[in-house]
Amino acid sequence: MDENRIARTCLKALILNYNPKEIKFNWASNFKSILDRSNHQHLWKELDPNKLYSSKTKITDTIKTLLKNEDMERSQNSLKHYYGSQLAGNNRLIDITSVPFYKLRIFAQVRLNPGIFYLRGEKHSLDHEMNCKLCNLDSHEDLFHFLYECRVHESSRSSLLSNLVCDEISRDNHLNMISKLKPEDYTYLYDFVTTCLKRRKFILEE
């Protein structure tokens, strides 16, 4: 590359201003981190376009494998954390491969408890700082109220409650009860949440 080309000048400036704490603001630093992770640090010293191009496939394959392994490790750790009390003594992870992804996604959104749901590409946000506009209980519309208190959703709640193993549900333990649902019971949670979100949207927009 001609040393006087604008692209080369910009690259030199980015390299000169390399800051490992601000990688996302510097594409050259970002690229260097990719080379480091894929064990191609030697390419950074030369920055030879031909060598970089010939190594492209190997670099991307290595990074994809690394990211996949990291995702798998996080997934397994998460499952061990939430289902550890349900393991059958042989340290075996519960199989959730038979559960559709869209149901797992709703389960994860409830468990994270932000009061925000994404259903078929549409965002639904509970207004936890305001009283519920659907019922007259004078209670904030947080996740607990939505799942267990709001009278508007009472008719849809029986199937969900019958599958929660708990004598008394409270704000302190309700997420723990949700986490203990067996994968085969995710359907009850999914059906309740999606039905109630649609009902809520219809009432508020009417």
Contact 150, 137 (CB under 8 A): yes
What is residue 151's predicted lDDT score, i.e. its pLDDT? 92
What is residue 86's predicted lDDT score, i.e. its pLDDT? 47
What is residue 22's predicted lDDT score, i.e. its pLDDT? 65
What is the rounded CA–CA span in Å between residue 206 and residue 203? Answer: 5
What is the rounded CA–CA span in Å between residue 103 and residue 187? Answer: 7
Determine which of 42-51, 56-65, 195-204 has the lowest per-residue pLDDT on average. Answer: 42-51
Q: Which of these, 73, 71, 94, 98, lies nearest to 180 by C-alpha position?
A: 94
> Quick check: pTM over 0.85?
no
Contact 52, 40 (CB under 8 A): no
pLDDT at position 157 over 70: yes
Beta bridge partners of 124: 117
Give DSSP secondary structure letters for 102-150.
HHHHHHHHHHH--SEEEETTEEEE--TTSB-SSSSS--B--HHIIIII-
Could you tell me the pLDDT band of residue 93, with boundaries at 50, 70 and 90? very low
Could you tell me the pLDDT band of residue 166, with boundaries at 50, 70 and 90? low
